[in-house]
Amino acid sequence: TRPFVVSAPGKVIMFGEHAVVYGKSAIAGSVDMRAYALVTPSSGHSVRLVLPDIDVDVEFDVRQLPRLRPGDLAHPGDVETLLAEGIDVPEGPGRTAVLAFVYLYGSLVAEAGALGFTMCVRSLLPVGAGLGSSASFNVVLSAALLQMTGQLQGEGATEEDRRLINSWAFQGEQVAHGTPSGIDNSVATYGGFLEYTKGHGPAPLHSTHALRVIITNTNVPRSTKALVAGVRALRDAHPAVVDSILDAIHNISVTAATLFQAPEEAAGGELERQLHDVIRMNHGLLSALGVGHPSLERVRDIAAGHQMASKLTGAGGGGCALTLVPRDAPKGAAARVAAEMADEGFCCHQAVVGGAG
């Protein structure tokens, strides 16, 4: 068989971070900074996984890898316990990626007999920035292995193909993160926008909108766990106030879901004007919850200086922000905004949210 490429996008949380922890609705969208896997089949018993962005280059003899049948493991993360002596899994950030690979290979390929190949995955997504880099890796990995073993319907993923890819990618995410919500792998598989509520899982929205944004990584490190705990402490101290903030954020997500599902012709510039308002308000509400940061206010000020709205995305306290670039923004405005942000030491990517999975 011939070499082939599969790819999957990253994700941004558009609205509803933190509130989602309390059962409120959140909206995420795909971001066209993608992971790409190039798979080169070979004869023999060797598989090689190359992830240059995280410094991984490992080679396995496939006869050494565990074969996994459904029910063999209580949790996908337990795959580590099955590794035979002499199988070399790196330490560091690449470790979970390699373990997910071993799990998915063992589940999807081992039964089909030895299948040698080299898989090289490159990603435009920064690692650990809340943009879903691990989920897009698990989606391309699952899609590639399913493709190689003839389990997909064919050219372009069908609805059933996507369901299959997504369920395996979710298991890869479980290897990496224990109990992920499933939001990241769903966005990477289906693309577009989706609504997520705890306990209900991700629901793709019927949207054809694509938004121009600037994703700004402030490079300020933060702990999601500490930020989530901080919101909880604030809520314990001021339940009525914090609950009304969380409800306001929920209503923003509900409003956004309606906007995204409005027909494109009808919505046009009006959609962007309304999004501008809710982005601005959502950021203010997150700041009120104590998850802002001076770097994020700097991003917001620079954007506001160009009549653009920004909000933090993800856990806050630094990390990433997104800025909506309206369609009618003056030519070159996005580049000027990005340059001003870069002058502050932030990393900016001009991107499109809502594109294909």
Does 220 help bind ligand MEV (rule: CB under 6 A)? no
Return the SS3 of 209.
coil
Does 352 help bind ligand MEV (rule: CB under 6 A)? no
Q: Look up 88 and say whether it is catalytic.
A: no
Does 228 help bind ligand MEV (rule: CB under 6 A)? yes
Report the C-alpha gap between 93 and 128 in whole angstroms. 10
Q: Give the number of residues in contact with ligand MEV, rule: CB under 6 A.
A: 10
Rg (CA), the chain: 21
Does 191 help bind ligand MEV (rule: CB under 6 A)? no
Return the SS3 of 83.
coil
Cβ proximity to ligand MEV: between 246 and 351 the closer is 246
Q: Which of 107, 134, 186, 295 is catalytic?
A: 134
Helices (H), the chain: 94-108, 133-148, 159-177, 183-190, 224-237, 239-261, 264-288, 294-304, 333-343
Report the C-alpha gap between 126 and 217 in whole angstroms. 9
Nearest Cα neighbor of 311 from 228, 215, 197, 236 is: 215
Token pair 């330490």 is found at 91
Give the one residue of 46, 224, 261, 274 binding ligand MEV; rule: CB under 6 A.
224
Token pair 């565990």 is found at 66
Site string for ligand MEV, 304-333 (x = CB under 6 A): ----------xx------------------
Cβ proximity to ligand MEV: between 11 and 162 the closer is 11
Token pair 């793709």 is found at 204
Does 21 help bind ligand MEV (rule: CB under 6 A)? yes
For the bound state, the minimum distance from the C-beta of residue 259 to ligand MEV, rounded and expressed in Å, comes to 21
Q: Look up 253 and say whether it is catalytic.
A: no
Give the one residue of 9, 14, 17, 102 binding ligand MEV; rule: CB under 6 A.
17
Nearest Cα neighbor of 137 from 81, 194, 89, 99 is: 99
Does 18 help bind ligand MEV (rule: CB under 6 A)? yes
Stretch that binds ligand MEV, among 12-20, 137-145, 185-193, 299-307 (CB under 6 A): 12-20
CB-based contacts of 214: which residues, under 8 Å, 6+ apart?
A: 303, 322, 323, 325, 334, 337, 338, 341, 348, 349, 350, 351
Site string for ligand MEV, 120-139 (x = CB under 6 A): ----------x---------
Stretch that binds ligand MEV, among 16-24, 119-127, 296-304, 348-356 (CB under 6 A): 16-24
Stretch that binds ligand MEV, among 15-23, 69-77, 109-117, 302-310 (CB under 6 A): 15-23
In a 13 Å sphere around the CA of 109, the CA atoms on its Cβ side amount to: 24
Summarize as ranges the residues that interact with ligand MEV (CB under 6 A).
13, 17-18, 20-21, 130, 224, 228, 314-315
The residues that are catalytic are 134, 184
